[in-house]
Amino acid sequence: MQAIDFRSDTVTRPTQKMRQVMANAVVGDDVYGDDPTVNELQVIAAEKLGYEDAIFAASGTQTNLIALMAHCDRGDEYLVGQQAHTYKFEGGGAAVLGSIQPQPILEGENGCLPLDDIKAAIKPIDPHFARTRLLCLENTHSGRVQSLDYIEEATSYAKSVGLACHLDGARLFNAVVKQNIDVKQITQHFDSVSICLSKGLAAPVGSLLCGTHELINKARRWKKVLGGGMRQAGILAAAGIVALNEQVERLAEDHENALILAHKLANIEELTVDMAKVQTNMVFAELKSSTPAELASHLESNGILISPSNTIRFVTHKDVNQNDIETAIGLIKGFFYNKK
């Protein structure tokens, strides 16, 4: 039996259709630009997201890094959230591999970077300082949707002072589906965007970076330099095409399931759930008395996986359904009941 896995939407397994198209994909050597399936995916992504060009890469960490390296030179800096993936969860890659300095900014309400703090962090042109070149936002951020008004305000200010704007849109389509808008209403504000195919969209591997031809050409070079050149990658891109064409609307189910899960968790006395954060496919809960490790190990021995961090994050996705949620709730209640 497969475990019921709430750790992340990255655990989603490819659909039958994905497996079929992967088996039959027409391929070539992508480092020569010869893989027709990779090329097709890149065209589809650029078109859907409203950019001139796109590049397929192994992971979101890699598409973010090649974006940062394409936008910034050695000794430049990017403004980024203190809790942003591109700052905190990518091993310091921009600094380590790109010689690019992060300037983290504490998140404000709903995870946005407050405009006044963005303004205050931009450095004058002066040899004492790194050159501020780029504003990097994230949407969704910990499951939270960044409003169109905020995005417009922050990016238009950034552009007015000569900064480029990059969006870490690993879960961009969760925001799009939640707001029931066209993805371009968000992406039109950014010079580049990175999206993940391997999260809620259920592809096994892969991310895309979109931008101008000029930016993507630079990114293509950095991807190769970083060892990211893949050969018959059309096997993976084939699943990515299915992800973009057929898995986006389904994300609404994940959002509905997250709300159901959140309400049921909130009804358990020993848990505190922050309902304001339940906007897409994530639910955050804190335990009042037991440790997360105790709960996690009880659940694991019953076939349910969660990450035992202080605030427990439950992620809903294609491979958890409402029955699974019932099962999990029953076991969580059982855990607290038996402790009494």
Q: Can you give the binding site for ligand PLP, defined by CB under 6 A?
A: 59-61, 64, 85, 138, 168, 170, 196, 207
What is the C-alpha separation between 209 and 175, in angstroms, rounded? 18
C-alpha dihedral (150, 157, 173, 205), degrees to nearest 10: -140
Residues in the chain: 340
CA distances from 288 to 176, 300, 311 (A): 34, 20, 11
In the bound state with ligand PLP, the residue whose beta carbon lies nearer, of 205 and 287, is 205
In the bound state with ligand PLP, the residue whose beta carbon lies nearer, of 207 and 257, is 207
Q: SS3 for 38-74, per residue? A: HHHHHHHHHHHHCCCEEEEECCHHHHHHHHHHHHCCC
333: left (phi over 0), alpha (psi -120 to 50) or beta: alpha
Q: Is the Cα torsion angle 315, 316, 319, 321 positive or negative in sign? A: positive
Tokens of 295: 């709960």
Q: Cβ of residue 137: shortest distance to ligand PLP, in angstroms?
A: 10
Nearest Cα to Cα of residue 284 among 311, 246, 251: 311
Q: Which residue is nearest to ligand PLP (CB)?
A: 60
In the bound state with ligand PLP, the residue whose beta carbon lies nearer, of 64 and 247, is 64
CA distances from 307 to 278, 284, 299, 314 (A): 18, 11, 11, 8
What is the C-alpha separation between 15 and 19, in angstroms, rounded? 6
Q: Cβ of residue 226: shortest distance to ligand PLP, in angstroms?
A: 13
In the bound state with ligand PLP, the residue whose beta carbon lies nearer, of 228 and 271, is 228
Q: Phi/psi of residue 164, each to 5°?
A: -85, 160
Q: Cβ of residue 139: shortest distance to ligand PLP, in angstroms?
A: 9
In the bound state with ligand PLP, the residue whose beta carbon lies nearer, of 12 and 64, is 64
For 165-174, give one letter per residue: b (16+ CB within 10 A) or e. Answer: bbbbbbbbbb
Q: Cβ of residue 47: shortest distance to ligand PLP, in angstroms?
A: 22
- Cβ atoms within 10 Å of 118's Cβ, excluding its own: 22
In the bound state with ligand PLP, the residue whose beta carbon lies nearer, of 141 and 298, is 141
In the bound state with ligand PLP, the residue whose beta carbon lies nearer, of 59 and 103, is 59
Q: Cβ of residue 284: shortest distance to ligand PLP, in angstroms?
A: 14
Q: Cβ of residue 68: shortest distance to ligand PLP, in angstroms?
A: 12
Find how far residue 135's CA is from the centre of its chain. 17
Q: Cβ of residue 175: shortest distance to ligand PLP, in angstroms?
A: 11
Q: Cβ of residue 144: shortest distance to ligand PLP, in angstroms?
A: 11
Answer whether 65's CB lies under 8 Å from 94's CB.
yes
In the bound state with ligand PLP, the residue whose beta carbon lies nearer, of 168 and 324, is 168
In the bound state with ligand PLP, the residue whose beta carbon lies nearer, of 206 and 234, is 206
Q: Cβ of residue 211: shortest distance to ligand PLP, in angstroms?
A: 16
CA distances from 92 to 9, 89, 104, 135, 299 (A): 23, 8, 12, 17, 33
